[in-house]
Structure 1
Amino acid sequence: MRPTVERQVVLPWAQVLRISFNALRARLFRSLITTATLVLAVAFVAYTFAVYALLNALWPHAPSELQEKIVSSGYELFAGTFGSTPKDRWLIALSLLVCAVGIVNAQLMAVTERFREIGTLKCLGALDSFVIKLFVLEAVYQGLLGGAAGSALGVLVASVTLLVKFGTAVVRHFPALELAWIAAWSTGLAMLLSLTGVLYPAWVAARMEPALALRTEQ
């Protein structure tokens, strides 16, 4: 008859958050690289949609000379509005795919570097779900930071670019609420990317045999 666990100690969420945050600080350089990957990918997405939001807000109020300048700059109207082209969508999809692959690779490297740490935790009684929880929380930190920075950068660059090209009319018809919405869902996209990229590495870490991990040379 297999023995049963009479009582299991579960760490509070505050403690789990602290452990995952300290793990990121201990590997700050690698964490920054992963976050920078997210920043660049999300900035490109936010920039693309912010440009179209700014143009759609400006177009109805622009004089004919400015409308001609907008069209001659390469921006295309579809049914009276500006929107993403098939080329834009392909570029966005490729950038997000490259970002996701980079996150998976970085997280797998993190698992390799943390063999002993994970083995020690499991020897102390950590469940597979606890190990997964640590990696997921680290991904949330990175996704939130990278998404917020990337979306803000994309919206800022789009606004400055159109301001330089088309003048102060861009500021007078600034779609603040729509741009805030673009920044919000871009941040959510970054968190989704980060979580998707960490799932397989977290599963690998959770399935690790403690004895094998402790015998591994660092």
Structure 2
Amino acid sequence: MIEFPKMMWISQYTVRFAFSEEISQESFLAVQQFNRFIRKVLHHKVVETVPGYFTVTVYLKGRQNFNEDELIEQWRLIQTERMNEYPSVGRELRVPVCYDEEFALDMERVMEFTDLSPEEIISLHISKTYVVHLVGFLPGFPYLGELDSRLHVPRLTKPRSLVNASSVGIGGYQTGIYPIDSPGGWNIIGKTPYPLFDVRKDEPTLFQVGDIVTFYEITKQEYYQFIQESV
């Protein structure tokens, strides 16, 4: 059973609910479940809810009064009797990645930090199933967790002025993909031929919070074939 989070008033119209400050699958599921719960039980009082790594921030329609004890009781009821009303996972997506040295700009740095070979790094990266914890920083940038602990490498001390769109990087506990050309400090280990952001589409971003993501390796030839076929 997931405990009720700590409740903190940020302003007259904003309240934040905080779970344990730990980036993990358990924290992610708790946050997503609680966000759905709040949107359901306080829908008539809420302008917007914003889930984070371990918080849910609630923006209210003006000053609102609600009983924390009553919320706690409703949360406990949901936890024990109606959990199936709150699914916690999204779509399943398989994403191709080319780890060729042309795209793996920081492979040597990752090797130095981990004492692993390129083959071992690639194997560990594609062996995990990831969940999109957040989408942000850039339009459509997915924060994917949890990365295998053997691949936990600090971000670059001096970020690059330009990282190409669709570059796949790792940093700390997570892996992510740059949706557009931008500055960035993640360790780049590959590139996907998939476009992550297209304003012309009804849904301009590829990833949504809660999506389940797995990577699979492709060759450089297959990468360019993907690109050619998508033109």
TM-score by length of 2: 0.25
TM-score by length of 1: 0.26
Q: Which has the higher strand share?
A: 2
Q: Which has the higher helix share?
A: 1
Higher Cα Rg, which structure: 1
Greater relative CO (CA pairs within 8 A, separation 6+): 1
